[in-house]
Structure 1
Amino acid sequence: MSISLTDQDKATLRTAAYGAVSLMAAAGAVGKPGAHRIATDGSIALNSATGLVGRVLAEKSRDIALDGKSVADLADTVLPLLTAAVGLLKQDPAEADNFRATVIVAIETGAQIHKGEPSPALAAMARKITAALDAA
């Protein structure tokens, strides 16, 4: 099945996916070094996506808008966009699953920078991101 996405739909997907990585980086910055590594590893994971999701995430654009002065501000933007992005892709359940799996891999990759268990802040943020993905 082929999904037709508008430029705004594509911007929503990109902002949601890269926003999830940004949330993990912000949560990882709380009390520990490594936010840059979380962002880098998470972005690499997003760039390894395949299918329609991979093509949308790989497009060069300047439409990712992630503003805010706090993690809470960022979460207020990103978490609803994650739900919206999955909703946009539900016309093709395989692509909706692909988006969800891609974001999960990216946030799990970021959480792996700390050997062993992720920090409590990273684990909590990962749960919030997963809940937003599952809310659609």
Structure 2
Amino acid sequence: MNALTSEERVTLKTAAFGAVFLVSNADPGFFAMFKESFAASGALAGATGLVKEVLTTGTLPQLPRRSPGDVEAIVLPALERSVAILREKAPDEVDNYRTTVIAAVEQTAEATHGVNERERQVIHKVRGALGLPLTHE
């Protein structure tokens, strides 16, 4: 396994936290945000190995404060790039990363009132960016 550069670590972290942000933003609301953040943090902290170390150390990534479309335009390519980085440098961590991100976004969506259609659409995009099979619900 090759060591990740600081830039690669930022990419992995931005992608994971950004995916959670996109799902949370699909069902806005002040109290919902707290429940969703708590649910996501548990999933991200539950990662193992290199993925846990990358996601739970250092500063939080800075996402643009613009429209959700602008954030999506950063996050989805970052998810794709994260998988490519791990395939190259830590192939045994790819499934760990994918599983962790999907668990975080699903737990975020389920944290308040179940999963709505907008959240389902965002999760679908996240799965696609991670190179996972798309679910048909």
Does the TM-score normalized on the shorter chain lie above 0.5?
Answer: yes
Separation in 1, partners of 2:38, 2:44: 10
Matched with 1:8 is 7
Task: Between 37-46 and 77-86, report the one with greater CA deviation.
Answer: 37-46
Separation in 1, partners of 2:107, 2:70: 23
Whether 2:77 is the aligned partner of 1:80: answer yes
Separation in 1, partners of 2:6, 2:21: 22
Matched with 2:135 is none
Give the structure-2-normalised TM-score: 0.87
Cα offset, 1:28, TM superposition: 1.6
Matched with 1:102 is 100
Cα offset, 1:61, TM superposition: 2.2
Cα offset, 1:33, TM superposition: 5.7
1:46 aligned to which of 44, 47, 63? 44
Cα offset, 1:60, TM superposition: 2.0
In the TM superposition, structure 1's runs of 4+ consecutive aligned residues that sit over 6 Å from their partners are: none
1:59 aligned to which of 46, 57, 65? 57
**Percent of paired sites with the same residue:** 35
Count of aligned positions:
131
